Amino acid sequence: MLFENNDYDFDILSLAGLNFNRPQNNYYEYDNTNPLVDPQEGFQRGNMWRNEYVPYRGMTYEKLNPTSERESLLFKIMEMDFAVNDLNLYLDLHPEDNMIYEKFKAYTKECIRLKDEYARTYGPLTLEQTNKNSYEWMKNPWPWDKSGGSMYV
């Protein structure tokens, strides 16, 4: 897109750092064998798509490392939640992509399993996880409290 008849005589799509070379069709072009990275890498870099990640100015993400079993489980939940949400965005535009839909279903199932495991072991993450004999939602520490939860939340 070239700005004309103004003070800006340049192609906005060719500015340094911008990557707007997109496929001409409306479908994501990927290697059918494995278009996605694993949820751990996808969460840390903010993108599940193997060929779509472009680091900002050549920088990369810092690998986050949980420091306890509780934090590790919460971190896995965050990774799976991210994967489910990222695939959901893609499926909103490409509902016919059965391969990605199967991954979406598998990640959703694993996310539910991890949340149930966390609730059984450490207490509820959400209001509907009331599987104990008493109302535990307000009991401390909450998962995001520094004393017992994750420093990443």
**Would you list the domain boundaries of the chain?**
12-122
C-alpha separations of 28 from 36, 81, 88, 141 in Å: 12, 22, 14, 43
Tell me the pLDDT tens digit for each residue of 11-49. Answer: 444 444 444 443 333 333 444 578 899 999 999 889 999
Strand, coil or helix: 107 = helix
Tell me the pLDDT tens digit for each residue of 103-124. Answer: 999 999 999 999 999 988 988 8
- pLDDT-derived band at 58, boundaries 50, 70, 90: confident
Buried b (16+ CB within 10 A) or exposed e, 68-90: eebbebbbbbbbbbbbbebbeeb
Do the Cβ atoms of 97 and 88 come closer than 8 Å? Answer: no
Cα–Cα distance for residue pair 26/15, rounded to 1 Å: 24
- pLDDT of 40: 92
Q: Using CA of residue 90, residue 91, residue 92, residue 95, what is the dihedral sign? A: positive
- pLDDT of 138: 62
